[in-house]
A and B are shown apart, each in its own frame.
Chain A
Amino acid sequence: MATDTEAVTQGETDVDAERGYFGITVSTRTKWNLIRAVTVFVYVLMLLPLAVIVINSFNPSRLGNFPPSSLSLKWYEALLADTRMLRALWNSFQVGVAAALGAGLVGTLTAMGFVRNDFPAQDALVIVMLSPLLIPPIIVGVASTIFFGQIGLERSIAWLIVMHTLLGLPYAFLIIRSQLYLFDETLEEAAKTLGANPVTTFREVTFPLISPSILTAMVIVFVISFGEFTATQFWVKRTTTTVPVVIFSMLRTSISPQIDALATVMLVITIAIPLVVLGIRRYLLQN
């Protein structure tokens, strides 16, 4: 605790403490303490509500007195018996993984194309690539649903994968592109001088160097896909529904601790999978 206060006050003359604002004298240390207090406040706001969900999911009472007087797994048991929810979890997982692979592949090729080639209207086309990030999801949802409806395309898992790939694409593109900007192009030149064709160069030189950022991008796309609701609500039907859509429809009918259990499972997946994948990445990089 003392260390960060020292970092701020160390070697400083505290001149402003003598002048003060509006005649009020505030020392550097006091200001830093104020910043720290706001930080603590913000963390409480961000974390406490989520902690409440997790704790409440173990609360046997339906009316949820808080904190719970006893703990039980009955809402998780209800979850395991609910085929609709298990199916939604499986759908969400499948779509998330597929969209991550899709956006990883398309994002890598596109980023390569932008960084290694010169072509007309490149700046405008970058904005095209970023547009799924800028157009509000409600509009993406409505426009695509009308379009697919007009050409008579049946709602399916494939539909979800294609659209979630679209939503994740700007993230994959930006992350992989910034990694490509960083690394030394002469390495590729060297490989080509040594007689490697473009495919070999990519496989042996470029890909290993950018693979960490591809993995990061894919993790982020998975997380986005797994939690997306606003556009996805238009894209699902009964059999292809995803977890956020199920939670939303449960909220419309009644609030029960079963929602807390489902939300907790979702929270664990959305946090654990990226942590595990990024942990493996780190382990591989170190060896």
Chain B
Amino acid sequence: MSTERARFGRVRDRVMESDLVRLLLAPGLGIGWVLLFLFLPMTVIVVISFSVPGDFGNVIYEFTLANYERFWEADVYKNIIFESLVYGVVVTLLALPLGYTVGYFLGRSKTDWKWVLLGLVVLQYWVPFIIRTYAWIIVLSNNGVLNQLLLDIGVIGSPLDIMYTDYSMILGLTVSLLPFMILPVYVSVSTIEEDQIHAAKTLGATDFRAFREITLPQSLPGIVSGILFVFIISAGAFLAPTLLGGPSTRMIAPVIETVFILDFNWPFAAALSLIYFGIIGVLLYLFTRRVDLEEALETGVA
């Protein structure tokens, strides 16, 4: 009886310690999850993107280049992707100085309120995009809070038309994404030893020079992480362009959704998704040649 159990124990240990089981059980589970539910679908839509659209989301498996030709021949889709990237750059360029300033303040300040202020940034992270986006509708629309207050005070005679323009969309997107810039910058700034800055200044460096040569290089991981998150999320944004943008605001995510849901053209939606994914992939590749992608993501998340 006891030898039986001992043998079972030995076998169990050997099974648990065998490399194959350890690899399958541990990293294999996560990698398998991503391969099965993300990479396999991505591979399938490569095939679909070369197929003919049928009725109501059906796909006729006949090889065709028509979806890619449609993209290539009409300027409209090329322009939409280009404009999405431009909006992404604009939002990133706005979020960087604002987010950096706040991150720098939180990293260097000795105020008693620091932990409250930090907590408020973390809470911002948790607020769903749909709520942040909706909030700007109530604030900015013609009978919204801002216009009501300005009318009541008498600063303006008639409501300002800010809502449903590029400006309202960029504002909403930038403010929603600021936490992604603030927190990583704060983390890197707060690890800088203050003595280094003091030393530089004692040696005659100006504030600006001390900042440029000590603070800025050491806060680079935070900046890189912030730029990565803000750019990827804003260029691919769906809610802000749909709910806050104007008739002339065109971004790729709502267009893919329209092709998918309203036109029911799955092959063309697949082709657009893959083209956009290819462009983001190339940008990420260029980015990883200069910085460590993994480190940048880890700075932003953990």
- Does A16 contact B208, Cβ atoms closer than 8 Å? yes
Per-residue CB contact flags for chain A residues 104-145 toward chain B (1 = under 8 Å, else 0) read 001101111110110100010111111111111111101111
Return the chain B residue nearest A12 by Cβ: B201
The stretch from A70-78, A83-91, A170-178 touching chain B is A170-178
Q: Which of A180-238 contact B (CB under 8 A)?
A: 197-199, 223, 226-230, 233-234
Q: How far is the CA of A176 from the CA of B301 in the complex (A)?
A: 11
Return the chain A residue nearest B239 by Cβ: A229
- Does B26 contact A110, Cβ atoms closer than 8 Å? yes
- List the A side residues contacting B63 at CB < 8 Å: none
Q: Is the interface of A mostly helix, strand, loop or mixed?
A: helix
Nearest CB of chain B from residue A129's CB, rounded to whole Å: 6
Return the chain B residue nearest A139 by Cβ: B273
- List the B side residues contacting A149 at CB < 8 Å: 57, 266
- Does A49 contact B136, Cβ atoms closer than 8 Å? yes
Is B290's beta carbon under 8 Å from chain A? no
Q: Is the interface of B mostly helix, strand, loop or mixed?
A: helix
Is B155's beta carbon under 8 Å from chain A? no
Q: How far is the CA of A6 from the CA of B108 in the complex (A)?
A: 12
- Does A244 contact B130, Cβ atoms closer than 8 Å? yes
Q: Which of A24-77 contact B (CB under 8 A)?
A: 28, 31, 35-36, 38-39, 42-43, 45-50, 52-53, 56, 63-66
Known: A132-B38, A166-B34, A198-B16. A52 touches B138 (CB 8 A): yes
- Does A142 contact B270, Cβ atoms closer than 8 Å? yes
Q: List 28 A-B contacts (CB under 8 A).
A: A1-B111, A4-B110, A13-B201, A38-B102, A39-B106, A46-B124, A49-B132, A52-B145, A53-B134, A56-B138, A106-B30, A110-B27, A117-B27, A128-B35, A135-B42, A136-B280, A137-B238, A138-B273, A139-B236, A142-B269, A144-B37, A146-B48, A147-B45, A165-B33, A171-B301, A174-B297, A244-B129, A263-B131
Residues on B lying within 8 angstroms of A by beta carbon are 9, 12-13, 16-17, 19, 22-23, 25-31, 33-35, 37-42, 44-45, 48, 57, 59, 98-99, 101-102, 104-106, 108-112, 117, 120-121, 123-132, 134-139, 143, 145, 148-149, 175, 178-179, 182, 198, 201-202, 204-209, 232, 235-236, 238-239, 243, 252-253, 256-257, 260-261, 266, 269-270, 273, 276-277, 280, 284, 293-294, 297-298, 301-302
